[in-house]
Amino acid sequence: MKYPKAVIDTKALKHNIEIIRHLAPNSKICAIVKANAYGHGLIDVARSLLKHVEGVGVARIAEAERLRDAGFNNEIILLEGFLGAAELLKLNELKLTTAVHCYEQVELIEKYASSLNNLKVWLKFNTGMNRLGLDADETKEIKNRLERLDCVKEVNLMTHFANADDRTSNYTEEQIAKFNELNQDMFLNRSISASSGILFFPQTRAEWIRPGVIMYGISPTYEPVVNFGFIPVMNFETILSNVFKLKAGCRIANSNQVFSQDMYIGVIALGTSDGYPSQAPEGTPFLVNGRKVSLVGKVNVDTIYVNLGPELKDKMGDKVIVFGKSLPVEEVAKHINVITYELTTKLTTQTKHEYIIN
């Protein structure tokens, strides 16, 4: 059997959507499936969501094209808009909804208006993320320009929070105030909140919401979201490829730790070639046969060492949980000092995806 593998629980995915529905019963859901559905598998996740959400969001047009080719007919929102005329014409062909965040995009829509039809647009208002987006005056101007075009069917308004997961800051409230001030005279459909906004700022659960990591049971912070009832969708696992006794006074390669007693060392079939972070420090947890063990030494290209303890309890082929329901990805990410979803999005093509279909 191929290892490592990511076991994806589609029942957990649907359960998480139900929780989001409960939190925002009056909102339409744009499920964020960018970055290969945060490493969970774009096509299979989208198929599982087909009857449970109003639309999905992607970052790049190639992702949207894959979804259409797979028969996904729900609304697809291109969150970062289009890059150039070719992508504009392609998104029109694919019947995509697009974000507009700069003048260049508006000018292209105007230039190719005769070749476009029924275009749905989300104006991206920069309330403080300072990445993509228009200021207030630009947003008003572009709204008026787009609404004059026969090819534009619908204009909506969206923004993105800079650090909604930081509840010690007032910055998100300032962003909300800017957004509400702009829209009070525009009366557009709104999309304000992504994962953190949905959880922590209920007043931002507008006409559309954009759940990302929480849909996969991953917290936007290091604190697990189990208190909200979310369930991790991915169980990332591998096996022990070897178990050996290390004599007292010895150490393993790439480690300064000298063991004071005989110790059993497990070699895990996992490494940087599978997307596991090279910077994972000694002490990073894994689960072997249900008990927590720690990384020793450094992460290699395709192997990792773990300390199994002084007694022989494990053997080659035993399952290792890298993260998942029984070992939260948040705990592992905190040890490694990376963003939680970095661990799932960096899985390489060497990782087999296995889907539990419910």
pLDDT tens per residue, range 10-48: 999 999 999 999 999 999 999 999 999 999 999 999 999
Does residue 107 fall inside a structural domain?
yes
Does residue 40 fall inside a structural domain?
yes
Stretch 106-131: mean pLDDT: 98
- Pick the last residue of a domain from 167, 185, 217: 217
Domain co-membership, 208 together with 243: no
Does residue 228 fall inside a structural domain?
no
Does residue 257 fall inside a structural domain?
yes
Domain co-membership, 184 together with 283: no
Stretch 269-275: mean pLDDT: 97
Stretch 285-311: mean pLDDT: 97
Domain co-membership, 180 together with 246: no
Number of domains forming the structure of the chain = 2
For residue 25, give every residue at least 6 positions away whose Cβ sits within 8 Å of its Cβ, in sequence order, or none: none
Stretch 253-281: mean pLDDT: 93
pLDDT at 224 over 80: no
pLDDT at 2 over 90: no
Range of the domain at 277: 234-356
Domain co-membership, 144 together with 55: yes
Confidence band (pLDDT; 50, 70, 90) for 1? low
**145 a known binding residue?**
no
Domain co-membership, 205 together with 332: no
Does residue 223 fall inside a structural domain?
no
Domain co-membership, 187 together with 282: no
Confidence band (pLDDT; 50, 70, 90) for 358? confident
Domain co-membership, 164 together with 239: no
Instruction: Give the model's pLDDT for residue 245.
Output: 97
Domain co-membership, 205 together with 255: no
Stretch 185-206: mean pLDDT: 95
Does residue 161 fall inside a structural domain?
yes
Quote the CA–CA distance of 186 and 296 in Å, as a whole number: 58
Q: Which tops the pLDDT comparison, 226 or 203?
A: 203
pLDDT at 127 over 90: yes
pLDDT at 232 over 90: yes
Tens digits of residue pLDDT in 150-191:
999 999 999 999 999 888 899 999 999 999 999 998 889 999
CATH number of the domain to which 299 belongs = 2.40.37.10
Confidence band (pLDDT; 50, 70, 90) for 69? very high
- Pick the last residue of a domain from 168, 187, 217: 217
Domain co-membership, 336 together with 250: yes
Q: What is the mean pLDDT of the chain?
A: 96
Instruction: Give the model's pLDDT for residue 255.
Output: 82
- Return the SS3 of 296: strand
**34 given a catalytic annotation:** yes
Q: Both tokens of residue 64?
A: 């949207």
Within 13 Å, how many C-alpha atoms sit on residue 59's CB side? Answer: 9
Does residue 83 fall inside a structural domain?
yes
Q: What is the signed CA dihedral for 69, 72, 76, 81, rounded to 10 degrees?
A: -10
Strand (E) positions, the chain?
Answer: 5-9, 28-32, 55-58, 75-78, 97-100, 119-124, 152-158, 190-191, 208-209, 234-246, 263-268, 285-288, 291-296, 304-309, 319-323, 352-356
CATH number of the domain to which 31 belongs = 3.20.20.10
Q: Which residue has the tokens 């697009």?
A: 98
Domain co-membership, 238 together with 332: yes
Q: Both tokens of residue 216?
A: 């996969």
CA distances from 182 to 54, 139, 178, 188 (A): 26, 9, 6, 10
Stretch 190-219: mean pLDDT: 97
Does residue 124 fall inside a structural domain?
yes
Domain co-membership, 183 together with 302: no
Q: Which residue has the tokens 């393993």?
A: 252
- Pick the last residue of a domain from 217, 252, 271: 217
Domain co-membership, 159 together with 41: yes
Catalytic-role residue among 5, 34, 124, 143: 34
